[in-house]
Amino acid sequence: MSNAQLTLEIKQLLINTLSLDILPAEMDDDALLLGDIPEFDSMAIVSVITALEENYDFSSADDELTAEVFESIETVVAFVQQHIQ
């Protein structure tokens, strides 16, 4: 899967999981998540992790799930890429 396709899919997953009223094209790849999207709170992070693991068939260790992973869309994409390659 290409990086662009994975990025688009993750944007859509975030939109769906957070119930955002925007389109994937309206989200910049380097858009910040933590602190910039009010809906992106601790409960949302758990939902996003679960959705990522289910959609891309991987599991992550608790110590991998740092704030840096959820800093931006790019960092989430990089995290998923590490687990699906």
Query: What's the pLDDT at 56?
Result: 96
Domain map of the chain by residue range? 3-84
The CATH code that applies to domain 3-84 is: 1.10.1200.10
Query: What's the pLDDT at 85?
Result: 79
Task: Tell me the average confidence (pLDDT) per consecutive run of 10 residues in the chain, 85 residues long.
Answer: 93 94 92 86 91 95 91 95 91
Half-sphere exposure in the Cβ direction for 49 (13 Å, CA): 16
Query: What's the pLDDT at 1?
Result: 81
Q: Cite the DSSP H helix spans in 19-71.
A: 42-56
In Å, how far from its chain's centre is CA 79?
A: 9
Query: What's the pLDDT at 75?
Result: 95
| Rounded Cα–Cα distance for residues 22 and 12 (Å) | 9
Q: What is the pTM (predicted TM-score) of this model? A: 0.90
